[in-house]
Amino acid sequence: MFITAWEASFKEKTILKAFEATGLSPFEPETESLLQQVVKDRRDPQVQKLSQAFHSISVQKSLLEQEANGLKEALINERLRRKRGKALPLEAPKEYHGGAVVWSPSRVNRARDCLQQQEAEEEQRQLQKAEAAKAREARRQAKAQDTQARRQARAEARISREKEKAKKASEQASRAAACRTQQQLQNALRATQKGNRMSFKAPTKAALKKKVAIEPQAGGTASGAAAGAPPSKSQHDRAIKLPAKYR
């Protein structure tokens, strides 16, 4: 039996394939062929260093690929082991005192159905938890958006109030300036009217005296007629005498 397995495993084709997989024989054939195409003088020290670095990187790549494949395989095996290792919910009989227990197929089927139901319920609970977490996140985002909207509305209202206040202040300043201008115009108009009234006032005392002094020099009939004219009378038939200072 051992010889048969040995002969089936250790064949020339299998051995050569194993050496080729490790890159020992031939030594990295793909790498060597690529180097031969690129590099002509293999005796150059710089070329030899480059070749060694290239082979080292190639070997590390192969090792990392093998390690990754091994980890993937181990992960798959672990998942399968956990899935197979779950025990059925079978209760031992009351008179059980150790040893092997034989379960009937119907009992095993019921236990499997119960296990599937438990797994379905657990999956449903996990789904409900995920949905609840999603709903909480949606509510949190909605609340944050509502808070942001209220904050933005308050900011816009504050800006609107400030603009309205500035507009009212500007209008008030414009009205005040217009009032001041109107007042200045009225003052200027009154000053002009006052000056005009001063120009139309009665002659001063000196002007009257000068007029009285000039009138007697006129002589002749006009002077005598003026001297012989009757004195002026008021509405009550009283004589109006000219004050001495105007005579």
| Among 23, 25, 18, CA closest to 58 | 23
Q: How confident is residue 205, by pLDDT bands cut at 50, 70 and 90?
A: low
215 close to 247: Cβ distance less than 8 angstroms: no
Q: Which long-range contacts (CB under 8 A, 24 or more apart) does 190-198 make?
A: none
- pTM more than 0.75: no
Q: Which of 29-38, 124-133, 191-200, 203-212 has the highest mean pLDDT?
A: 124-133
What sign does the CA torsion over 204, 205, 208, 209 have? Answer: negative
Name the more confident of 14 and 22: 14
Taking only the tens place, the pLDDT of each residue in 124-164 is 999 999 999 999 999 999 999 999 999 999 999 999 999 99
SS (H, E, C) the chain: CHHHHHHHHCCHHHHHHHHHHHCECCECHHHHHHHHHHCCCCCCHHHHHHHHHHHHHHHHHHHHHHHHHHHHHHHHHHHHHHHHCCCCCCCCCCCCCCCCCCCCHHHHHHHHHHHHHHHHHHHHHHHHHHHHHHHHHHHHHHHHHHHHHHHHHHHHHHHHHHHHHHHHHHHHHHHHHHHHHHHHHHHHHHHHHHHHHHHCCCCCHHHHHHHHHHHHHHCHHHHHHHHHCCCCECCCCCECCCCHHHC
Residue with tokens 């009665």: 202
Q: Which of 20-34, 40-54, 108-122, 171-185 has the lowest mean pLDDT?
A: 20-34
The C-alpha atoms of residue 152 and residue 155 are separated, in whole angstroms, by 5
Residue 226 structure tokens: 């003026």
- If you average pLDDT over every residue of the chain, what do you get? 75
pLDDT reported for residue 64: 87
pLDDT reported for residue 230: 55
pLDDT reported for residue 15: 73
The C-alpha atoms of residue 157 and residue 225 are separated, in whole angstroms, by 93
Q: How confident is residue 226, by pLDDT bands cut at 50, 70 and 90?
A: very low
